[in-house]
Amino acid sequence: MTQAEASTSRFALSDTAFELAPLRAALLSAQAGAYASFEGWVRDHHAGRAVLGLRYESYAELALSEGEKVLAEALERFAVVDARCVHRVGDLAIGELAVWVGVSAAHRDAAFAACRYIIDETKARVPIWKHERYADGAADWLHPELPAAG
Amino acid sequence: MTQAEASTSRFALSDTAFELAPLRAALLSAQAGAYASFEGWVRDHHAGRAVLGLRYESYAELALSEGEKVLAEALERFAVVDARCVHRVGDLAIGELAVWVGVSAAHRDAAFAACRYIIDETKARVPIWKHERYADGAADWLHPELPAAG
Amino acid sequence: MSRLTVLYFASLRDAAGTASESVEADARDLRGLYEILRERHGFVLPVERLRVAVDGAFARWDEAPRAGSEVAFIPPVSGG
Amino acid sequence: MSRLTVLYFASLRDAAGTASESVEADARDLRGLYEILRERHGFVLPVERLRVAVDGAFARWDEAPRAGSEVAFIPPVSGG
């Protein structure tokens, strides 16, 4: 993700670790009294199995357009000032940041609701897949029957 | 707020601007897959009036104990890993950070719910008062009939 | 009669012109103490909109004032 | 018969052993195309659990395969 891409789109994919401070700063606004954010971190366990690390793969073209759609829907449904989402792709270690959502709004109801909407819809619709490596030597693509609870 | 205070208590008051990165970093955990945070920023308007800036005053002794109680309740009610809250006191300009809440959890339901609980209860119960200065020259303490919507 | 310290915050402090004062509390309970001080300082807020704390912990309005204690009247809060 | 490109992701790519291939699509619709490729590569996922995209946009399973288009079969996603 380059700075230019970040400034022209609300949803981005990043194949390297990214800084949160500039993403948050881009949402600062004198009209906004509330800011809600969500981060997904790589956990050391999943469904009872010890996880060593994971890889995210995306269908980038469709992920970017579907992600933008999710953000546009959030801006339309909730009284927010602005919102952004960045999702990592590639190899991630335990504890690494996998996804970040930030929303600014006049009031906290809208900030929380939009933030929740964006992470829920991103997990449910945006073509990104998680490949987990387990401590027992196995590795698997996650293709949940229903959107993941994490 | 000193580092020592921050590490031994979950709720803190700060009479100067504070850095978010170390607060967030203190909540990082290999067991946590979700992190929700909320920030309150000083808005340029309130109830239709232009706001120039504000001051937060607290009854520090009671604010700290009541704030800790709110955080302890959140940890008991929701399946979270850890949670923190820092509230500014003193003079703040438009756009400045007034309050920060951070919550880490295995799953996002608990992270969002606990984050919301902490900011709602803090606004409703912790003895901190906002004094707003308006563009029309007036200034007022806010003593809401009901907890503020912001 | 018991001498105690009263703390004022926010609009109560502005109205009282002081953040704290030492008072002779000749009231049966904390509610009565507030009514006396409300009349003295012209506080606008009725007791129903306040909470009361004694020595740094929330207390009940029907508690008797204790000599040497620190009583705080807590106007509706507006943090966040 | 129309020649088009098929993209595979995640477990479908592992099963197919390739991220994309050029195929002769002699199927009436995209559902039929998937069933042919499922049999060829031994895909485990039934069509009901997939979505389909054509040229970078979600499409309907009853659309006819278009020559020169890029068709992607989207397994259940697991981002976040």
Q: What is the 3-state secondary structure (H, E, C) of B61-115?
A: HHHHHHHHHHHHHHHHHCCEEEEEEEEECEEEECCCEEEEEEEEECCHHHHHHHH
pLDDT for B146 equals 61
pLDDT for residue B148 is more than 70: no
Residues of D with CB under 8 A from a CB of A: 7, 9-11, 14, 45, 49, 53, 56-58, 72, 74-80
Q: Dump pLDDT digits (tens) for B12-41.
A: 999 999 999 999 999 999 899 999 999 999
pLDDT for D1 equals 65
Residue range A95-120: average pLDDT?
97
Q: What is the C-alpha to C-alpha distance for residues C57 and C54, in angstroms, rounded to an integer? A: 6
- The count of CB pairs under 8 A between chains B and C is 77
The single-letter DSSP state of residue D63 is S
Q: What is the C-alpha to C-alpha distance for residues B122 and B99, in angstroms, rounded to an integer? A: 10
Residue range A124-137: average pLDDT?
95
Mean pLDDT lowest among B44-58, B65-79, D4-18? B44-58
pLDDT for residue D45 is more than 60: yes
Residue range C39-68: average pLDDT?
97
- pLDDT-based confidence at residue C5 (cuts at 50, 70, 90): very high
- b/e sequence B43-56, b meaning 16+ C-beta within 10 Å: bbebeeeebebbbb
- pLDDT-based confidence at residue C2 (cuts at 50, 70, 90): confident
> What does the mean pLDDT of chain D come to?
96
Q: What is the percentage of chain A residues whose pLDDT exceeds 90?
A: 85
In the three-class reduction of DSSP (H, G, I as helix; E, B as strand; rest coil), residue D29 is classed as coil
pLDDT for residue A89 is more than 60: yes
Residue D10 is which amino acid?
Answer: A
CB contact under 8 A, B36 and A38: yes
Q: Dump pLDDT digits (tens) for B61-94.
A: 999 999 999 999 999 999 999 999 999 999 999 9
- Residue A130 tokens, joined: 């998680």
pLDDT for residue A28 is more than 70: yes
Q: How far apart are the first and last CA of chain C?
A: 39
> What does the mean pLDDT of chain C come to?
96
Q: In what order do the strands lie in the sheet with D57-59?
A: D20-25, D2-7, D70-74, D51-54, D57-59
pLDDT for residue A8 is more than 80: no
- pLDDT-based confidence at residue A150 (cuts at 50, 70, 90): low
CB contact under 8 A, A150 and B33: yes
Q: What is the C-alpha to C-alpha distance for residues A61 and D20, in angstroms, rounded to an integer? A: 15
Residue range B106-121: average pLDDT?
98
Q: What is the percentage of chain B residues whose pLDDT exceeds 70?
A: 91
Subunit partners of chain D (3 or more CB pairs within 8 A): A
Of D7, D74, D78, Cβ closest to residue A142: D78
Residues with Cβ within 8 Å of A70's Cβ and at least 6 positions away in sequence, in order, are A11, A85, A117, A118, A121, A122, A125, A126
Contact D58, D51 (CB under 8 A): yes
- pLDDT-based confidence at residue A47 (cuts at 50, 70, 90): confident
**Which residue in chain A is spatially nearest to D7 when comparing CA positions?**
A59
CB burial of residue D35 (10 Å; 0-12, 13-18, 19+):
middle
Residue B31 is which amino acid?
Answer: Q
pLDDT for A48 equals 87
CB contact under 8 A, C53 and B131: no
In the three-class reduction of DSSP (H, G, I as helix; E, B as strand; rest coil), residue A70 is classed as helix
pLDDT for B4 equals 42
**Which residue in chain D is spatially nearest to A39 when comparing CA positions?**
D80
Q: In what order do the strands lie in the sheet with B80-88?
A: A11-14, A80-88, A97-105, A34-41, B34-41, B97-105, B80-88, B11-14
Q: What is the C-alpha to C-alpha distance for residues B64 and B43, in angstroms, rounded to an integer? A: 25
pLDDT for D2 equals 84
- b/e sequence D48-58, b meaning 16+ C-beta within 10 Å: eebbbbbebeb
Residue range A99-109: average pLDDT?
97
Provide, as residue numbers in chain C, all residues whose Cβ is less than 8 Å from the Cβ of B125: 77
Separation in Å, CA of C17 to nearest CA in chain B: 15
Contacts 24+ apart (CB under 8 A), A24-29: A24/A102, A24/B20, A26/A82, A26/A84, A27/A81, A27/A82, A27/A83, A27/A84, A27/A102, A27/A103, A27/A104, A28/A104, A28/B41, A28/B95, A29/A81, A29/A82, A29/A104, A29/B95
Is B136 part of the contact surface with chain C (CB cutoff 8 Å)? no
Residues with Cβ within 8 Å of A22's Cβ and at least 6 positions away in sequence, in order, are A6
Q: Which of C16, D69, B28, B96 is nearest to A95 (CA)?
A: B28
Separation in Å, CA of D33 to nearest CA in chain A: 20
Q: Rounded to whole angstroms, what are the CA distances from A69 to A100, A118, A125, B8? A: 17, 10, 10, 43
Contact C12, C77 (CB under 8 A): no
- Residue A79 tokens, joined: 């009284």
- pLDDT-based confidence at residue A63 (cuts at 50, 70, 90): very high
Is A23 part of the contact surface with chain B (CB cutoff 8 Å)? no
Q: Which of D25, D7, D36, D38 is nearest to D65 (CA)?
A: D25
CB contact under 8 A, A122 and D79: yes
Q: What is the C-alpha to C-alpha distance for residues A21 and D65, in angstroms, rounded to an integer? A: 46
Q: Which of residues 85-114 of A touch B (CB under 8 A)?
A: 94-95, 104, 106-109, 111-112
Provide, as residue numbers in chain C, all residues whose Cβ is less than 8 Å from the Cβ of B144: 76, 78
pLDDT for residue B149 is more than 60: no
